[in-house]
Homo-oligomer: A and B are copies of this chain.
């Protein structure tokens, strides 16, 4: 059997037909146009699903299930999406609405969870008994895969690793708490610290690269300057690595996964990031002489959402 995977984002919707081993047979995309509200969006998701099935030379009867990754959470018992901030959705009866167009089982999970699940089946953490996936983007998304299945907790709201508290009384977070992991390990954190740093060090190469306008600093600005040896950028990057590594140490101490996978925009820094994080984590693990999680970069890139969503139905 084949599976349909849908990656529902605030800007675009991607869908594809995926084999049980995580190979994409066909894929397509449409703009989300969130202002339409959920009715027309879900109708378009159904049409996109039918299109990619046709493109793969298949019929809906060849499909076992549809899986959808959403930038929010879904109640697995009711099929209702209680919150989806990026889409402005609140209490959306997603599963029943999609099933009014296509009569197939529909599985919904968080977008970070499905990306981590994809890596655990067809990516860098394939075959591991337990893995944790972190998307280092605007925020920090998390996925926990245990025994080959995404673990989302008793009420479906687990694996919000970005909101693990790393620094009690620390940086204010959008969730209302202070010191959440994502305030230290997201691209947003690098940008914030970069802007703070150039106030004190206007001579930094960061300022030249952003054309003298700190508003134009992004994570890549800092990482590129750090790679080139700029002291201010190196200090910002080191502070970022410290926060990320301390969060990873907490994950190791709590969950002891076999692999921790780094994805999302900041992971594009590649080995420069990976070697720094591995070195910092090694200094802080609890059982210094015991084996602990391998830390790796994600492999599947932009396709992870489609693959992982599809395989929810497996």
Residues of A within 8 A of B (CB): 73, 82-83, 128-130, 142, 144, 146, 151-161, 163-170, 175-177, 179, 184, 242-243, 246-247, 249-250, 253-258, 284, 286-287, 289-293
Contact = CB atoms under 8 A, between A and B. Distances in A.
A249 B162 CA distance: 12
A286 B256 contact: no
A82 B250 contact: no
Given A165-B166, A167-B168, A287 B73 contact: yes
Contact of A146 (B83, B146, B290, B293): B146
B154 A286 contact: no
B289 A253 contact: no
Contact of A286 (B156, B160, B179, B253): B160
Contact of A176 (B155, B250, B284): B284
A181 to B, nearest CB: 9
Nearest to A163: B253
5 contacts: A155-B290, A157-B287, A157-B290, A175-B286, A177-B249
Given A165-B250, A177-B284, A153 B256 contact: yes
Contacts of A154: 128-130, 256-258, 293
A255 to B, nearest CB: 5
